[in-house]
Amino acid sequence: MYYLGIDLGGTNIAAGVVDESYQILATAKQKTQVPCEPESLCEQLATTALQALKNANLTLDDIPWVGIGTPGTVNRDNGVVEFSNNLFLSNYPLRELLEKRLNKKVIVENDANAAAYGEYKAGALKGAKNGLAITLGTGVGSGIIIDGKVYSGFNYAAGEMGHTVIVYNGRHCTCGRNGCWETYASATGLINMTKEAMQEVSDHTRPIWTLANGSLENVTGRTAFDAMRAGDPTGKQVVDQYIGYLACGLANCINTLQPDILCIGGGICNEGETLLKPLRELVAKEVYTTRYTAKNTVICRAQLGNDAGIIGAALLGA
């Protein structure tokens, strides 16, 4: 049995063919052209999907369905993307249009949920009854698995952990609220904190400035960590502050959901135990169950990387 999953993003569309061992056999990718007419986006998805099948020497007859993970609020019952600001979509009948184009069953899910399901089926959440996947990127994505199924709430919008507030009246968030966890714990939040700290350093020969070649424009999510390793106290200050914010939100997630396993993905996780060890220690101090039981949520790094969305989407009907 083979499966096809599509990871629809604001920048790229990636499709992959997955086998019964949850391995990706072949992929195809193209730039996402949005905003566009509804039929045009459907055609982009179909073209990418068909190319992935061709690269795997398969056809639509070899797969039972097409699964898609997309940003935004998705009504899985009818396959309508109710709202996705990054894709400029509102009440977009994705399932209907793509089923008509491919003459194949289509299953649509939120992209963070699809990635979480991928980790549950084949990655870091495998074996968990209840799991939570957090992705640290431009924002903070999250997907909740309860009893082996994606939890999305009665209105399909549950799991937006990045938009829980950790600082009252804090940083303004693109969602309209102030102080959202996303504005502090995302890669964007880390970059902003690094830039702010750098502007308070008058000596531009310090590592935190030289690593960025003397320009705030060159700051990345690695800059503060690299500066810390180079012995720059400002780098350590930023890293400690960032991990503190990240731990605060994770403790909220655990206190609310008590998942067996919580996995964290995104480029920042390339820091490995430099990030995870102090993070676990801080979370342990904040999670109330650690006060009376040794049975607590396991915090680990996500395993599937960018493949999680493809694998999860492909297996949505499994």
Asked if residue 12 and residue 159 are part of one domain, the reply reads no
CATH number of the domain bearing residue 23: 3.30.420.40
Asked if residue 185 and residue 105 are part of one domain, the reply reads no
Cβ(187)–Cβ(267) below 8 Å: yes
Asked if residue 201 and residue 74 are part of one domain, the reply reads no
Counting the structural domains of the chain, the total is 2
Asked if residue 109 and residue 175 are part of one domain, the reply reads no
Question: For position 290, what pLDDT does the model report?
Answer: 86
Question: For position 148, what pLDDT does the model report?
Answer: 93
Asked if residue 173 and residue 67 are part of one domain, the reply reads no
Asked if residue 110 and residue 70 are part of one domain, the reply reads yes
Asked if residue 114 and residue 135 are part of one domain, the reply reads no
Question: For position 199, what pLDDT does the model report?
Answer: 97
Domain that holds residue 69: 3-120+307-314
Asked if residue 179 and residue 46 are part of one domain, the reply reads no
Asked if residue 138 and residue 83 are part of one domain, the reply reads no
pLDDT in tens, 262-285: 999 999 999 999 999 999 999 999
pLDDT in tens, 115-148: 999 999 999 999 999 999 999 988 899 999 999 9
Question: For position 167, what pLDDT does the model report?
Answer: 97
Residues of the chain predicted below pLDDT 50:
none
**Tokens standing for residue 202:** 């008058």
Question: For position 11, what pLDDT does the model report?
Answer: 86
Asked if residue 261 and residue 177 are part of one domain, the reply reads yes
Question: For position 235, what pLDDT does the model report?
Answer: 98
